[in-house]
Amino acid sequence: MDLKNIISKFKELFGLDGAVYTSPGRINLIGEHTDYNGGFVLPGAIDKAMVVIVKPNGTNKVRAFALDIKDESNSSEFGLEEENKPAEGWAKFIFGVAREMIKRGKTIPGFDIAVSGDVPLGAGMSSSAALESAVGFALNDQYKLGFTRQELALIGQATEHNYVGVKCGIMDQFASCLGKEGSLIRLDCRSLEYDYVPFNPKNYYLVLIDTCVPHNLAVGGEYNKRRESCERVVAAIAKDHPEVKLLRDATIDQLKAVKEQVSAEDYIRAEFVIEEIQRLLDTCEALKKDDYETVGQKMYETHEGLSKKYTVSCPELDFLNDYAKEFGVTGSRVMGGGFGGCTINLVKKDEVDKFIAKATDAYEKKFSIKPKVYHVVIGDGARKLE
């Protein structure tokens, strides 16, 4: 990312220097679609991030500019009342974060803001959470609002729910706000308690292969439909077990007992979630013992579940997963919400180059799309850049 260019562009647009903030995208080793079910996740912030430059402008309006968009939808001006929601998709994130802060009793005067970044869009690395977190962190710092990082993550999540339309869990915003260099975050999404799990395997790299099939979780509402399935199953189980508030609280036996009361589709989705929560716990145990073969095995199981039970994969992702398995890669799976984006691969260091060359070649031959490859570096969460 060309930070100098971003800074000089801000000055050119708004005539003054602004303060620079950044917040990263994320990976997730395992634990998918478990967050909104109160389960565990194991994400880490990455070295790809969104950057915002901000300066209060003394008015009650926001003037916003998206430096990476090349047409006239790259600028937006809006007030901060509920009815002022901007038309531009990217500006809704800025508006939403400010609105969520106002709803929490804060005053947000007008500001100028420029946005840029190198988190690939639609690749499953949470560019939107990165933007929400960068904006949240920036406004919190500029206006001395006193939100904790955890509260900023919740503000980002509420922005998705109320201004973007995706009823997401907390994983992405949490990783973006609380990420730590060299560590994954083992997050209990029910209590929001978390531990940092150092992740620096001696003999393996994490490699992302981007199918370049963009995913957009809002389109068609497929993500929200999964969440509704889980909620229906919880409601069925809770009739006999009122202590079950989320699928995290449910056992496979409790699920089996309501098999006749829920649709086959809801049943199999809930089964995936309950299994996935356990898989994450097993993976954490394996990590403690540096048992990466088991970690990898669990990743393949997650892919199988996401593809066959939760049905959030696509032919391109399945192809890359099959290819990794045939090649003998230690672990591989679709990462994030699904429906496109990346596979995350745990690859032995001495096999990385060969695997990437062969997998990308095979993928391109099959789909006539050149996939992108990203090497994962686990970095820090939201911060001000001096």
> CA–CA separation, 355 vs 315, rounded Å?
19
Q: Tell me the residue ranges of DSSP E strands in the chain.
A: 19-28, 40-41, 43-56, 61-66, 75-79, 111-117, 183-188, 194-198, 204-210, 331-334, 342-348, 372-375, 383-385
- In whole angstroms, how close is the CB of 168 to ligand GLA at the nearest point? 3
Dig out the tokens for 258 from the structure: 């309501």
Name the segment binding ligand GLA (CB under 6 A); options: 30-38, 109-117, 284-292, 355-363: 30-38
Dihedral over alpha carbons 1, 345, 221, 70 (to 10 degrees): 20
Q: Which backbone phi and psi does 197 adopt, to 5 degrees?
A: -110, 105
> CA–CA separation, 129 vs 178, rounded Å?
12
| Residues between 31 and 70 that touch ligand GLA (CB under 6 A) | 32-33, 35-36
Please tell me which residue in 112, 172, 210, 249 is annotated as part of the active site.
Answer: 172
Residue 381 within binding range of ligand GLA, rule CB under 6 A = no
Residue 168 within binding range of ligand GLA, rule CB under 6 A = yes
- In whole angstroms, how close is the CB of 207 to ligand GLA at the nearest point? 19
Q: Which of 132, 172, 249, 318 binds ligand GLA (CB under 6 A)?
A: 172
Residue 171 within binding range of ligand GLA, rule CB under 6 A = yes
Starting at the edge strand that comes first in sequence, how are the strands of the sheet with 342-348 ordered?
331-334, 342-348, 204-210, 372-375
Q: Which amino acid, 152?
A: L
> CA–CA separation, 84 vs 95, rounded Å?
9
Which lies closer to ligand GLA via its Cβ, residue 35 or residue 100? 35
Task: Say whether 266 is catalytic.
Answer: no
- In whole angstroms, how close is the CB of 314 to ligand GLA at the nearest point? 15
Q: 258 with 348: CB under 8 angstroms? A: no
Name the segment binding ligand GLA (CB under 6 A); options: 90-98, 167-175, 180-188, 190-198: 167-175
Q: Which of 24, 25, 117, 169 binds ligand GLA (CB under 6 A)?
A: 169
- In whole angstroms, how close is the CB of 333 to ligand GLA at the nearest point? 11
- In whole angstroms, how close is the CB of 258 to ligand GLA at the nearest point? 23
| Residues between 126 and 155 that touch ligand GLA (CB under 6 A) | 126
For ligand GLA, the binding residues (CB under 6 A) are 32-33, 35-36, 126, 168-169, 171-172, 336-337
Catalytic residue positions?
172
